[in-house]
Structure 1
Amino acid sequence: MGEEINRLHVIVDEFHADFHPSPQVLKIYKSDLLAHVEHGMGKNLAFRCSNAINASVQSSQEYMMESMVPLLPSTAQSQIHMLVPNRTFDLSYDLNCAAICSDFQENIEFQFSLGWKALVHRYLGSVNAQKALRLVDPNFQNSRSVVPVAQTPSSGPPSIAAPPSNETALMTQEDLMIAMATNLASLTSRTSMSVIVVGGVMWKTIGWRIIALSVSLYGLLYLYERLTWTTKAKERALKRQFVEFASEKLQLIVSFTSASCSHQVQQEMATTFARLCQQVDQTEKDLEANICTLTANIDQLETVQSCSKTLRHKATELELQLEEFTKQYLEPQQ
């Protein structure tokens, strides 16, 4: 399962559906994506694991039956294979992606790769970047949290937030500029003087042409990324974010899924053992019934034997009396 989680991007890339950044389409898209991932991973796990597990289960069942055959009479030995049908044991890999990925929230807004926020995140890391951005804008975290993001199907209907007006957007930009100016003004005069001196030296050393060329290249790069941020690019970004999010979530249920599969195998073996035990119990009852019948026959035979001995003694006595009678009355006297 760990290897399949590492290959999750392949399953996600194989998913194709109508995509649009609107919340209604995103809701259906992510629901279908979750179903596709669960089906794909379950199919791959079954292909890689089910055959080996099924062979092991059948081998154990054969061993159990062979061990029990000597305990059964010849009439029941031929019927033992009917107790455990030769069927394929299929494991159920219940990943439940819809539940574990219910809190997935995508961010498909355009972000310039050389923007100041992206550069801060790239060179300072996520944790340090958050601290640095809060120094510039104390309301940075709050400003991000109010952006409406489409929720997953299992998390309920998306919250409806009123789109910000132009006046609010301008106020936010003005607040950001004021915060930047306030933080820059809070620096020491020595640092400000150093920045001015370094800027002047660069102006004199590089020249305004190179600076203008750099600014032009920067603008062209921004324009290029902005124009290439199409619907397909947004879909690729959503898939990439989903792979990163789902991989972390699926790693948490590896042991749980393994325990579930182990429990299914245990149930299958327990069912086989119960059927064999039932056959042994039935055979034991039949043997006990036969023993009772034979015991009754033996008792009857012993009674007949005892009676036959008594009759034989009487017959011997009568035979002796007959011989004496013959000698005394029937044989001629000499």
Structure 2
Amino acid sequence: LFRMFFRTSSGKSSVINAMLWDKVLPSGIGHTTNCFLSVEGTDGDKAYLMTEGSDEKKSVKTVNQLAHALHMDKDLKAGCLVHVFWPKAKCALLRDDLVLVDSPGTDVTTELDIWIDKFCLDADVFVLVANSESTLMNTEKHFFHKVNERLSKPNIFILNNRWDASASEPEYMEDVRRQHMERCLHFLVEELKVVSPLEARNRIFFVSAKEVLNSRMNKAQGMPEGGGALAEGFQARLQEFQNFEQTFEECISQSAVKTKFEQHTIRAKQILDTVKNILDSVNVAAAEKRVYSMEEREDQIDRLDFIRNQMNLLTMDVKKKIKEVTEEVANKVSCAMTDEICRLSVLVDEFCSEFHPTPSVLKVYKSELNKHIEDGMGRNLADRCTSEVNASILQSQQEIIENLKPLLPAGIQNKLHTLIPCKKFDLSYDLNCHKLCSDFQEDIVFRFSLGWSSLVHRFLGSTNAQRVLLGLSEPIFQVPRSLASTPTAPSNPAAPDNAAQEELMITLITGLASLTSRTSMGIIVVGGVIWKTVGWKLISVTLSMYGALYLYERLTWTTRAKERAFKQQFVNYATEKLQMIVKFTSANCSHQVQQEMATTFARLCQQVDVTQKHLEEEIARLSKEIDQLEKIQNNSKLLRNKAVQLERELENFSKQFLHQSSEES
């Protein structure tokens, strides 16, 4: 980017027109350039311009109307910018994307700071166009001092324009030239300190832009360059203008590389440093996070293994504990039930209800008695066993909970008693006496204690007595069959000798009874024998006592006596039946306890399973996170290596182009 500044009517626009080989920008006497005009190349064949804030392409012939101060266009202020697009084919300078900017005079505005911020900060070269008929003033110097404050050592060229006026006084030409040269050198070297004295001499030129423009326009029209009235020394001035163009082109090229590419290179290095720092931070953070995640994953894996191992051990211990408790409960229930069976007569005696030997009343009586026994024994068993069983179960459950607590998270541990409340456990004994004693058959018919059947029952037992009594109608010496009216518990077989003796005794008595019952003659014979032996008085006394005893027993066989006999028979029968279900009831109670403890343990195991599942999910999440962090580390290292490679390429570029350009300059 090329900027041209100086005061009004110094020939700035003429210099640009001469460089463009055509009269493009407005030029003339007085305040000609009213705004900023930028000239840049276009690939098209036609020139056009665009005003600031508008996309309309206008003909370049309207430049004088837009920018000339004499027109006094209110829409174009000094701070406005008009873009002029000139065909690159007509100017070699514009082919390298060069932009020429013509400014209003620096002496017609007080907005220098705004101009500098808006149009000068991105300029590569500044051209100070001075009027060689005067000298540098402080007003013009002030502008470049401000530019020098904003930019570090800007590239400045000084063109002493209208040098053709010196041809009228050739005797003073060298003195004036030397005077202008000294003042310009002092300004560049001493005041601005932007170049060395040797380099400053190559930045100061004495030209006549108007002469160069006219000669080039003549040449473009096919006319001789030197045609028309030209002052003496034209060729020297033309050659110096060409030297300016050549030096300007070299400087603009080097400046573009140095100012633009160097700034871009510096900025790129800064960006790369920032990127490397960011990538280093990312790499370090990812590495730290990865190490932390790996340690956390190892902790979670160790905890999961610990929980699994502890669960295996605890499961075995709990099974053993449940077995011990159930066996203990079975023994307690068995002992308590055996004791209650021994006290069954007391429980039956406590039963009070209306008793009558009629079948309907007996049926109700038996039903209520069964219920009384079932409720009473259940209550007594509960009083003797429930508290101890509950204490044992609660203690075992607490031990199980305390052993499983360390395997659960703290939040679950605090809620454990809520999730698994300790409640009272009631055993269900389920004696079912009604069904158990449903086949009980009472025998409350009066029987004389010294009667034949009673004596047989007393001496031979119930079973053998039935066989004897039933065998009276059987043939002699036939072994009778058992026809028991009520089922009895199976008993162990007697020894062979005792069984043979009993069978012989039963056979003899049965045969004797059968023999005497078949003939009345036998009775008379036996009576006669006894009469002759003891006498009639003793027989009379004996028969009287026998009859009195019979009468006494018959009179005392009341309903209450029948109830006592009924209860005694029921006690004997129920005792036998209840003893048969002692093992079953105790096993049932132990099974209930086993189910209760197993259910509690299963609930705890469910909480442990949830904890294990959470641990497995956390381990999977950490593994995924570790893989992602590893990828981030690898990508950050790869990107940092690329950044280092780019940094090396920038260093090589700087050494090859920027430093070389500085050395050549």
Gaps of 5+ in 1: 140-144, 150-176
Q: Please tell me whether the aligned partners of residues 341 and 575 of structure 2 are also in contact (alpha carbons under 8 angstroms).
A: yes
Q: Please tell me whether the aligned partners of residues 136 and 180 of structure 1 are also in contact (alpha carbons under 8 angstroms).
A: no
**Following TM superposition, by how much is the alpha carbon of 1:94 offset from its aligned partner in structure 2, in angstroms?**
1.1
Rate the CA distance shift 1:70–1:199 in 2: closer, same or farther, 3 A.
same
Once structures 1 and 2 are overlaid, which stretch shifts more, 130-139 or 75-84?
130-139
**Following TM superposition, by how much is the alpha carbon of 1:198 offset from its aligned partner in structure 2, in angstroms?**
4.2
Q: Please tell me whether the aligned partners of residues 83 and 276 of structure 1 are also in contact (alpha carbons under 8 angstroms).
A: no
**Following TM superposition, by how much is the alpha carbon of 1:217 offset from its aligned partner in structure 2, in angstroms?**
2.9
Work out the CA distance in 1 between the residues paired with 2:586 and 2:379. 16
**Following TM superposition, by how much is the alpha carbon of 1:103 offset from its aligned partner in structure 2, in angstroms?**
0.8
2:379 corresponds in structure 1 to 43
Q: Please tell me whether the aligned partners of residues 473 and 514 of structure 2 are also in contact (alpha carbons under 8 angstroms).
A: no
Work out the CA distance in 2 between the residues paired with 1:220 and 1:107. 24
Q: Please tell me whether the aligned partners of residues 136 and 183 of structure 1 are also in contact (alpha carbons under 8 angstroms).
A: no
Q: Secondary structure at the match of 1:124?
A: helix
**Following TM superposition, by how much is the alpha carbon of 1:219 offset from its aligned partner in structure 2, in angstroms?**
2.5
2:574 corresponds in structure 1 to 246
Work out the CA distance in 2 between the residues paired with 1:219 and 1:178. 25
Q: Secondary structure at the match of 1:217?
A: helix
Work out the CA distance in 2 between the residues paired with 1:180 and 1:136. 10
1:199 corresponds in structure 2 to 531
Rate the CA distance shift 1:12–1:301 in 2: closer, same or farther, 3 A.
same
Are 1:113 and 2:441 matched, yes or no?
no
**Following TM superposition, by how much is the alpha carbon of 1:17 offset from its aligned partner in structure 2, in angstroms?**
0.8
Higher radius of gyration, 1 or 2: 2
Q: Secondary structure at the match of 2:518?
A: helix
2:369 corresponds in structure 1 to 33
Q: Secondary structure at the match of 1:260?
A: helix
**Following TM superposition, by how much is the alpha carbon of 1:297 offset from its aligned partner in structure 2, in angstroms?**
2.6
In terms of fraction of residues, the more helix-rich structure is: 1
What letter matches 1:239 in structure 2? Answer: K
Work out the CA distance in 2 between the residues paired with 1:239 and 1:122. 20
- Aligned equivalent of 1:271, options 599, 606, 609: 599
Q: Secondary structure at the match of 2:379?
A: helix
What letter matches 2:350 in structure 1? Answer: E
Once structures 1 and 2 are overlaid, which stretch shifts more, 58-67 or 249-258?
58-67
Q: State the identity as a percent.
A: 54
**Following TM superposition, by how much is the alpha carbon of 1:87 offset from its aligned partner in structure 2, in angstroms?**
0.7
Are 1:305 and 2:633 matched, yes or no?
yes
Q: Please tell me whether the aligned partners of residues 516 and 522 of structure 2 are also in contact (alpha carbons under 8 angstroms).
A: no
Deviation string 1:254-313 (CA, Å, 9 cap, x unpaired) is 222122122212211221222122112111111122222223332332233233333444
Q: Please tell me whether the aligned partners of residues 4 and 41 of structure 1 are also in contact (alpha carbons under 8 angstroms).
A: yes
Once structures 1 and 2 are overlaid, which stretch shifts more, 294-303 or 88-97?
294-303
1:101 corresponds in structure 2 to 437
Deviation string 1:185-227 (CA, Å, 9 cap, x unpaired) is 569x9xx57x644432311xxx61x544433333232222222
Rate the CA distance shift 1:179–1:18 in 2: closer, same or farther, 3 A.
farther
**Following TM superposition, by how much is the alpha carbon of 1:319 offset from its aligned partner in structure 2, in angstroms?**
5.9
1:223 corresponds in structure 2 to 551
What letter matches 1:29 in structure 2? Answer: Y
What letter matches 1:4 in structure 2? Answer: E
Work out the CA distance in 2 between the residues paired with 1:46 and 1:184. 64
Work out the CA distance in 2 between the residues paired with 1:319 and 1:178. 137
Are 1:285 and 2:613 matched, yes or no?
yes
What letter matches 2:622 in structure 1? Answer: L
Work out the CA distance in 1 between the residues paired with 2:519 and 2:382. 58
Work out the CA distance in 2 between the residues paired with 1:222 and 1:14. 31
After superposition, where does 1:170-189 map in structure 2 within 5 Å?
A: 181-182=517-518, 185=521
2:356 corresponds in structure 1 to 20
**Following TM superposition, by how much is the alpha carbon of 1:32 offset from its aligned partner in structure 2, in angstroms?**
0.6
2:428 corresponds in structure 1 to 92
What letter matches 1:13 in structure 2? Answer: D
**Following TM superposition, by how much is the alpha carbon of 1:137 offset from its aligned partner in structure 2, in angstroms?**
4.7
What letter matches 1:9 in structure 2? Answer: S
1:81 corresponds in structure 2 to 417
**Following TM superposition, by how much is the alpha carbon of 1:322 offset from its aligned partner in structure 2, in angstroms?**
6.9
Work out the CA distance in 1 between the residues paired with 2:471 and 2:516. 9
Work out the CA distance in 2 between the residues paired with 1:257 and 1:99. 15
1:173 corresponds in structure 2 to none
What letter matches 1:33 in structure 2? Answer: L
What letter matches 1:277 in structure 2? Answer: C
Rate the CA distance shift 1:243–1:48 in 2: closer, same or farther, 3 A.
same
Rate the CA distance shift 1:178–1:34 in 2: closer, same or farther, 3 A.
same
Work out the CA distance in 1 between the residues paired with 2:427 and 2:456. 48
**Following TM superposition, by how much is the alpha carbon of 1:66 offset from its aligned partner in structure 2, in angstroms?**
2.5
Work out the CA distance in 1 between the residues paired with 2:633 and 2:519. 121
Work out the CA distance in 2 between the residues paired with 1:180 and 1:38. 50
Rate the CA distance shift 1:38–1:136 in 2: closer, same or farther, 3 A.
same
Gaps of 5+ in 2: 1-336, 476-482, 487-512
1:11 corresponds in structure 2 to 347
Work out the CA distance in 2 between the residues paired with 1:183 and 1:71. 94
In terms of fraction of residues, the more strand-rich structure is: 2
Q: Please tell me whether the aligned partners of residues 349 and 567 of structure 2 are also in contact (alpha carbons under 8 angstroms).
A: yes
Deviation string 1:26-75 (CA, Å, 9 cap, x unpaired) is 11110111111111111122222222222222232223222322222222
Are 1:259 and 2:591 matched, yes or no?
no
Q: Please tell me whether the aligned partners of residues 472 and 514 of structure 2 are also in contact (alpha carbons under 8 angstroms).
A: no
Once structures 1 and 2 are overlaid, which stretch shifts more, 115-124 or 317-326?
317-326
Q: Please tell me whether the aligned partners of residues 348 and 571 of structure 2 are also in contact (alpha carbons under 8 angstroms).
A: yes
**Following TM superposition, by how much is the alpha carbon of 1:93 offset from its aligned partner in structure 2, in angstroms?**
0.6
Work out the CA distance in 1 between the residues paired with 2:596 and 2:659. 90
Deviation string 1:91-132 (CA, Å, 9 cap, x unpaired) is 111111111211101011111222222122112323442343
Deviation string 1:306-325 (CA, Å, 9 cap, x unpaired) is 33333444455566677785
Are 1:123 and 2:455 matched, yes or no?
no
1:232 corresponds in structure 2 to 560
Work out the CA distance in 2 between the residues paired with 1:286 and 1:243. 62
Rate the CA distance shift 1:96–1:114 in 2: closer, same or farther, 3 A.
same
Once structures 1 and 2 are overlaid, which stretch shifts more, 288-297 or 30-39?
288-297
Q: Please tell me whether the aligned partners of residues 137 and 179 of structure 1 are also in contact (alpha carbons under 8 angstroms).
A: no
Which structure would you say has the larger RCO, counting Cα contacts within 8 Å and 6 or more residues apart? Answer: 1
Are 1:71 and 2:407 matched, yes or no?
yes
2:623 corresponds in structure 1 to 295
TM-score, normalised relative to structure 1? 0.75
For the aligned residues, what is the CA RMSD? Answer: 3.3
